[in-house]
C-alpha cells in the first residue's frame, strides 16, 4: 500500500477544505488514516503567518489586487529561490519523517521545493488547483507529476492564457464527505455565509433581507462581534424568521436545504454549492482567484455575481418564484465517479 500525505495551507479556506476532502475520499477507499499537514504554518517567518497576511490583504481589495497580479507573471519564477529558502527546511523534514510515495499539494508553493527533494525519497507530486479561474502562475510551474484540474472551464482558461504543460487530469473539485453522503435536498430558506471568519457584507445583506417572509439563516463564523450585532437587531425587531449562528462544521447540513446561498465566491463554496445544484449569489469577489471563481459561476450559469447589493432582493424574489432558473452547465457532482476511479487506479 502506498504511503500518502496531504500538504495544505490556511491561506483561505479552499486550500484546507480541498485537502480535507481528498483525505476523506482516500480514507474511505483505502481504509486507513492519511496525514494532513499545514506546511506553511510550520515554515519560517513570514510564511508561518501566511494565513494572517492573507486575511489582512483580503480586507483591502486594492492592495490584494496589486500583490496578486504583481506576482502573477514572469517575476514569480525569479521569486522562487527566495520562496524555496523559507520552505525547504520544513518540507525536507516532512519528507524525511513521513517517507511518502505520493504527496498531494493543495497549495502551489510546496511543489517546486518538493521537486528538489526527490533525491531524498522518490515520490510523486499531485498538485490540486483549488480555484476555478484566474489561475495564478504558481500553479503552473511544471514541477508536478500530475496536475489535478477542478473543471473543464478551468482547463480551457489555462489553455487559452498560458497553455498546459505536463500531465494533468480534469477531476472536478473535491468536496467533503458530508456533501457526498447527502441523499435528500430541500428548499426551506435563504442561507447567508461569511466563511469561517464571518467576512463580507453580511450586515448590509441582513438589513436588505430582514423583512423577507421566508426563513433566513446567517452564518457568522468566528466573528462574535457580527453575530452579537445581528442577534441584537433580531431580538429588538422580533425577527423570528431569522436564525443566526456562529462557527459550524456541519455546513453541508445547512447548504442542502437552502433555496439560495449568498456568500463570497471562495473555491470550496463555489464547488459545494454547485455540487448540491444550489444557486450561489456571489458577493464582491476579490480580484484574482475569487473573480475567476465568479467567472465560472457566470459561464456555467450556476448563480449570479453582484458587485453591488442594489438589486439583491429583486433577484432573490425571482429565484424563489422560479422566474429565474439556472442551467448548471458544468456539474461538480458529475466528477464523483471519476475521482474515485482515479484514486483507486493511482494509489492502490
Cβ burial 117-144 (10 Å sphere, 16+ → b, else e):
beeeeebbbbbbbbbbbbbbbbbbbebb
Query: Mean pLDDT score of the chain, rounded to an integer?
Result: 94
Considering only CA atoms, which of 264, 274, 288 is closest in space to residue 172? Answer: 274
Per DSSP, what are the bridge partners of residue 192?
218, 262
pLDDT at 55: 86
Lowest mean pLDDT among 22-31, 63-72, 187-196: 63-72
Contact in structure between 7 and 110 (CB atoms under 8 Å): yes
Residue 74 has pLDDT above 80, yes or no: no
Of the chain, the percentage scoring pLDDT greater than 70 comes to 100
Query: Which parts of 170-219 fold into alpha helices (H)?
Result: 177-180, 202-209
pLDDT of residue 199: 80
If you average pLDDT over residues 284-290, what whole number do you get?
93
Amino acid at each position: 500500500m502506498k504511503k500518502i500525505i496531504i500538504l495544505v495551507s490556511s491561506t483561505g479556506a479552499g486550500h484546507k477544505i480541498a485537502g480535507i476532502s481528498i483525505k476523506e475520499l482516500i480514507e474511505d477507499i483505502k481504509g486507513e488514516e492519511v496525514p494532513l499537514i499545514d506546511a506553511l504554518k510550520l515554515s519560517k517567518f513570514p510564511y508561518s503567518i501566511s494565513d494572517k497576511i492573507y486575511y489582512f490583504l483580503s480586507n483591502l481589495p486594492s492592495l490584494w489586487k496589486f500583490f496578486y497580479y504583481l506576482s502573477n507573471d514572469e517575476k514569480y519564477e525569479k521569486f522562487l529561490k527566495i520562496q524555496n529558502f523559507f520552505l525547504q527546511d520544513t518540507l525536507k523534514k516532512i519528507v524525511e519523517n513521513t517517507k511518502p510515495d505520493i504527496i498531494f499539494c493543495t497549495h502551489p508553493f510546496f511543489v517546486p521545493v518538493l521537486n528538489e527533494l526527490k533525491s531524498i525519497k522518490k515520490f510523486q507530486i499531485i498538485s490540486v488547483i483549488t480555484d476555478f479561474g484566474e489561475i495564478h502562475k504558481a500553479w503552473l510551474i511544471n514541477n508536478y507529476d500530475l496536475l489535478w484540474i477542478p473543471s473543464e472551464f478551468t482547463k480551457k482558461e489555462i489553455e487559452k492564457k498560458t497553455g498546459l504543460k505536463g500531465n494533468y487530469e480534469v477531476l472536478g473539485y473535491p468536496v467533503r464527505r458530508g456533501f457526498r453522503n447527502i441523499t435528500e435536498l430541500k428548499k426551506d430558506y435563504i442561507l447567508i455565509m461569511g466563511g469561517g471568519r464571518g467576512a463580507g457584507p453580511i450586515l448590509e445583506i441582513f438589513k436588505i433581507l430582514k423583512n423577507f417572509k421566508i426563513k433566513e439563516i446567517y452564518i457568522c463564523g468566528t466573528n462574535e462581534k457580527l453575530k452579537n450585532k445581528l442577534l441584537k437587531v433580531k431580538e429588538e425587531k422580533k425577527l423570528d424568521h431569522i436564525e443566526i449562528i456562529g462557527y459550524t462544521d456541519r455546513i453541508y447540513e445547512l447548504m442542502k436545504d437552502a433555496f439560495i446561498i449568498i456568500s463570497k465566491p471562495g473555491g470550496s463554496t463555489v464547488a459545494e454549492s454547485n455540487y448540491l445544484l444550489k444557486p450561489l449569489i456571489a458577493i464582491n469577489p476579490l480580484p484574482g482567484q475569487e473573480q475567476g471563481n465568479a467567472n465560472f459561476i457566470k459561464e456555467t450559469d450556476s448563480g449570479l455575481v453582484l458587485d453591488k447589493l442594489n438589486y439583491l432582493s429583486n433577484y432573490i424574489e425571482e429565484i424563489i418564484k422560479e422566474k429565474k432558473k439556472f442551467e448548471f452547465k458544468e456539474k461538480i457532482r458529475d466528477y464523483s465517479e471519476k475521482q474515485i476511479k482515479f484514486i483507486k487506479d493511482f494509489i492502490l
